[in-house]
Amino acid sequence: MKPKNLVIACLGLVLIVSCREEKKSSDPDSQMKKVMAIHDEVMPKIGSMGKLVGELSSKEDSSALGLQYKSARRGLQEAHKAMMDWMQGFGNRFDSDEILNGKKLSEQKQVWLNEEEEKVKALRDQINSSIETAETLLESNRK
């Protein structure tokens, strides 16, 4: 094969692969599954957040350390509220067929799904961060 033809063939292959990848990433069904997977990742953590809130609350007082416990508790409670608010808002925007069965989304709902994906990623970070802060604080003061 001539070098020119080889270059053209390689460029064609790269173009085909990149188009296929772009199609996959913009697939609403796949994107909905990704959003729900993030939700499913953090939802089980809600129970441990409640336990941490209880543990932190029992240690709160007016000392500097007590105020740190209070701050960590509030962070957990804010993350919990954010999760509940996100779920309610998400449920108001999408019906069960769209969420669970891959029902085709309208153009407006696709815009919303893009927004919800960003929101749920930020929510995951908020939940994980608040848990890490609380656990680190409790662990460092158990000695």
Contact status, residue 72 vs residue 130, Cβ threshold 8 Å: yes
How far is Cα 7 from Cα 82, in angstroms, rounded to an integer?
Answer: 52
Max intra-chain CA distance, the chain: 80
> pLDDT, tens digit, for every residue of 85-114?
999 999 999 999 999 999 999 999 999 999
> pLDDT, tens digit, for every residue of 3-50?
444 434 433 433 443 444 334 446 778 999 999 999 999 999 999 999
Q: Would you state the pLDDT for residue 25?
A: 45
Q: Where are the alpha helices (DSSP H) in the chain?
A: 3-25, 28-42, 45-57, 64-93, 96-100, 107-140
Please state at what angle helix 107-140 crosses helix 28-42, rounded to 10 degrees. Answer: 20
Q: Would you state the pLDDT for residue 29?
A: 81
**Coil, strand or helix: which one is 115?**
helix
Q: Could you tell me which residue, 87 or 142, shows the higher pLDDT?
A: 87
Please state at what angle helix 64-93 crosses helix 107-140, rounded to 10 degrees. Answer: 160
> pLDDT, tens digit, for every residue of 38-58?
999 999 999 999 999 999 999
Q: Flag whether the pTM goes above 0.85.
A: no
- Please tell me the total number of residues recorded for the chain in this structure: 143
Domain map (residue ranges) of the chain: 27-140
